[in-house]
Amino acid sequence: MLIKLDHIGIAVNSLEEALPFFRDCLGMNLIKIEVVEAQRVRVAFLSLGSETIELIEGTDEQSPIRKFIAKKGEGIHHLCFQVPNLEKSLKELKRKGVRLVDEIPRQGAAGARVAFLHPASSHGVLIELKEEKG
């Protein structure tokens, strides 16, 4: 079902404060920054070799990321895995009893189709599934 780990999402209070550490101290390459209005976030993707991390900043007080940080503090928010067919994967997981945050895919960064699995089903880890681009 899974193709590969796509990225690790890290919740931060401020991209401007977090970027210097990941880019300048760790030597990661900034790929892009974009706003995902549907999810009320601004994200920065950084790469190191073939690996990618996503820094995620909430854009308003109702943002799920701001709520996450208020409750748990900054840090790892989710793991994202690529799947070949998002609808098929969601149906299969639901059939297996996995609790879904999203039963219908939503728009993620770069227009990707994504859906989240509830951490209650994945031992406390929020899992994002992202459809592989054809």
Domain residue spans of the chain: 4-131
CB 129 within 8 A of CB 119: no
Give pLDDT tens digits for 58-109.
Answer: 999 999 999 999 999 999 999 999 999 999 999 999 999 999 999 999 999 9
One CATH from 3.30.750.24, 3.10.180.10, 3.90.550.60, 3.40.50.150 for 4-131: 3.10.180.10
Amino acid in position 28: M
Q: What is the distance in angstroms between the CA of the first residue and the CA of the last residue of the chain?
A: 16
Q: Do 116 and 128 meet the contact criterion of CB atoms below 8 Å apart?
A: yes
Nearest residue to 79 via CA among 44, 46, 122: 122
Gap between the Cα atoms of 78 and 7, Å rounded: 9
pLDDT at 40 over 70: yes
Which residues does 4 contact at the CB level (< 8 Å), separation at least 6?
A: 81, 82
For position 134, what pLDDT does the model report? 65
Strands annotated E in the chain: 4-11, 29-36, 41-48, 51-58, 75-83, 106-107, 113-117, 127-131
